[in-house]
Amino acid sequence: MAAKPKRAAAAKRKPQPQIDAATRLKLYRTMVECRQLEQRAHDLFMQNLIKGTSHLALGQEAVAAGFGVAMREDDYTFCTYRGHNHTYVRGVSMTAILGELMGNSAGLMRGKGGSMHLTSVEHGAMGSYAIIGAHLPIAAGAAWSAQYRGTEQVAVCFFGDGTTNIGAFHEAINFAVVWKLPVVFVCENNLYMEYTSIYDVTAVRNPAADRASAYGLEPILIDGNDVDVVYETAEAALERARSGGGPSLIEAVTYRHGGHSRADPGKYRPDDEVKEWLGRDPVPMYRERLLGLDIDAADLDRIDAETLAMIDEATETARNAPLPDVDIAWIDVWADGGAQWRN
């Protein structure tokens, strides 16, 4: 059993005055929307309206929100099966996400992808990937394309701590550095893979940050539950990538409130650890901070209420949508829209 790691050093950083109030409200709203969206997804599972599996990021919202707000509309994101929030923050509707989770015709891909593969090309949400590590080189490829086309777009790639031990992580980062690609690799270190602590299986203490120097990158270790810190770090990394400075590797330390997936009650985690992290829940933590900055509680309450109304409406629309037409199982294997492999 590895020694329990110390919390990331940056955790106690003070909020920076240069984030304006409008941006702060946007960060708050985005986190609240993510939180409520996934709580609703959880409820729908419990009612058996969502089948299969699902991986919630309850507790990790600050990472998706901080990046989502900092990104340019035409930037690309690549995320994992734990990617409802990362997809949502690019502008995809709640109805399309819930519909996809429920496997019906309101879904983003009409049920052909499912919870683990949310994609919306028109929003730059270039896919949710369920094979560990695969999307790191794919994100590097989107960054290469942006570099070649001279568009100053950036590809942002989110993945977990466990992903730092697979070959594709190392291949992609070396490749991106050598080609100086505009890509930001964001490791959300939530301390666990599925059911095993990352610290029991990793040669270094900080799974991403401690690898950075091997690729000539600055180690960046941040408090992933502090949305201001995430936002500022995202802005800096996006700017560096956009201006030709090449990739960054960021490790954002965070925690998932629930288990790995629907099937997992998360009992392998010590009670005091869970309690400690619930005490550092990014959403109420940020609310407290905003109140301390003289933002009106009524404004925050209104955001909470508007979000709830929005999600109620999305839930109704999504759950009342018809099942997908079975004919769609036969389309889009190929670019001509069909599935023919012979004449």
Partner 1 sequence: MAQLSYREAVTEALAQEMRRDENVVFIGEDVAAAGGVFKTTVGLLEEFGPDRVRDTPISEQAILGATMGAAMTGLKPVAEIMFSDFFAVCWDIVANQIAKTRYMTDGQAELPLVIRSGNGGGVRFGAQHSQSVENWAMAVPGLKVVAPAMPADVKGLLAASIRDPDPVLFFEQKALYAAKGEVPDGEHVEPLGTASVLRSGSDVTIVALALMVPRALKAAEELEAQHGISATVVDVRSLVPLDTQTILSEVAKTGRLVTVEENPRLCGWGAEISSIVAEELFWDLDGPIVRVTTPHIPLAAADSLEDAMLPSADKIVASVRELVD
> Of these partners, ligand TPP, Mg ion, partner 1, none, which one is at the site of residue 207 (CB under 5 to 8 Å by kind)?
none
Question: Of residues 83, 111, 114, 162, which one binds ligand TPP by CB under 6 A?
Answer: 162
Residue 119 or 163 having the CB closest to ligand TPP: 163
Rounded Cα gap, residues 153 and 288, in angstroms: 34
Residue 237: CB minimum distance to partner 1, A: 18
Residue 79 or 140 having the CB closest to partner 1: 140
Strand partners, 185: 157, 249
Tokens 């965070």 sit at which residue?
254
DSSP class of residue 225 equals: T
Interaction between residue 342 and partner 1 (CB under 8 A): yes
Cβ atoms of 84 and 158 within 8 Å: the answer is no
DSSP class of residue 281 equals: -
Cβ atoms of 193 and 172 within 8 Å: the answer is no
Residue 155 or 193 having the CB closest to ligand TPP: 193
Interaction between residue 157 and ligand TPP (CB under 6 A): no
Interaction between residue 163 and ligand TPP (CB under 6 A): yes
User: Footprint of ligand TPP on residues 212-271 (CB under 6 A)?
Assistant: 260
> Of these partners, ligand TPP, partner 1, Mg ion, none, which one is at the site of residue 277 (CB under 5 to 8 Å by kind)?
none
User: Footprint of ligand TPP on residues 293-332 (CB under 6 A)?
Assistant: none
For residue 127, which phi and psi values (nearest 5 degrees)?
130, 155
Rounded Cα gap, residues 66 and 48, in angstroms: 32
Residue 214: CB minimum distance to ligand TPP, A: 19
Rounded Cα gap, residues 240 and 58, in angstroms: 30
CB atoms within 10 A of CB 163: 24
Give the count of residues interacting with ligand TPP (CB under 6 A).
Answer: 15
> Of these partners, Mg ion, partner 1, ligand TPP, none, which one is at the site of residue 315 (CB under 5 to 8 Å by kind)?
none
CA-closest candidate to residue 88, choices 131, 46, 57, 51: 57
Rounded Cα gap, residues 115 and 323, in angstroms: 16
Q: Report the interface residues with partner 1, using CB under 8 A.
A: 76, 78, 108-110, 112-113, 117, 119-122, 126-127, 129, 131, 133-146, 148-149, 155, 167-168, 171-172, 174-175, 178-179, 328, 331-337, 339-343
